[in-house]
A = this chain, B = another copy of it.
Amino acid sequence: MINQLKGTTIKVDDGQVTLTDYMGSDLSVVNAARVSFGKHKSEMDDKDVKLINYLGAHKHMSPFRHVIFTFTLEGVSEVVCRQLYKHQVGCAYTSGEFKEAATTWNEISGRYVKLEPEFHVPANFRKQSKSNKQASVEGENVETEDAVRAIYLDAMEHSFAAYKKLLDLGVCGEQARMVMPLSFKNSLIWTASLEATINFIKLRDHEGAQLEIRNLARAIKKLIEPICPHSIEALLKSSK
């Protein structure tokens, strides 16, 4: 039953995140914490839930590092990827950067490129927050969305045309890509322990975070919730 979770996908803006693989559960946390007693339980009971809460509240983190998730992110902008690169502790990732993508494009240079699937185009353009220089407000969009979208799309198109011209003139891919915008979509495989995943969610699922990243954090939380609900609750309550 639980194994059906592998491959579950959630849309995040105009990209998506998939739970590609995982190992462990609340039981793995319990069994790790009780390793010295030589007992290996195969079903949870109330005492186990209490143990998990105790571990979380007292920051005994090591048992939470034996539950691991692999997420595949597709169609996410460089800006989102960068936030994941930064979660160094207990994480590993392989990024399908621009370099390889450039190579593929080069090979199929004649094809008609549709901008939308290749670049992130916001569904809504949010207003700048007055109170916080680095934030926007969810739900408050600019009045002139059509004009804004036209400028945005034109910028993508212009950059991409320049990129193709540079390649046509023989410039190497690694220099030509410098003109490409941050909205260009990337793919990323991200493997992280439960502890690291919750740490990411705590930092990014709150008001001050960029909405695009917050949406990703919410999706990741939804994907892992059925696997280890008690551990997630205990760690989110814990004040780290």
Report which A residues bind B (CB closer than 8 A).
21-24, 28, 31-38, 40, 58-59, 62-63, 65-66, 68, 70, 72, 74, 77-79, 82, 85-86, 88-101, 103-104, 106, 120, 122, 125-129, 133-136, 142-144, 147-148, 151-152, 154-156, 158-159, 162-163, 165-167, 169-175, 177-183, 186-189, 191, 193, 202-203, 208, 210-212, 239-240
Contact = CB atoms under 8 A, between A and B. Distances in A.
Contacts of A28: 21, 70
B173 A203 contact: no
Contact of A127 (B82, B147, B171, B183): B171
B152 A166 contact: yes
Contacts of A38: 74, 187
Q: Which of A22, A103, A128, A239 has the most CB of B within 10 A?
A: A128
A92 B186 CA distance: 24
Given A74-B38, A187-B38, A165 B193 contact: no
A191 B158 contact: no
23 contacts: A33-B94, A36-B100, A36-B187, A58-B208, A59-B203, A68-B191, A90-B92, A100-B134, A103-B134, A106-B133, A125-B171, A129-B172, A134-B173, A136-B175, A144-B169, A148-B171, A151-B166, A151-B169, A152-B166, A155-B159, A155-B163, A178-B183, A181-B181
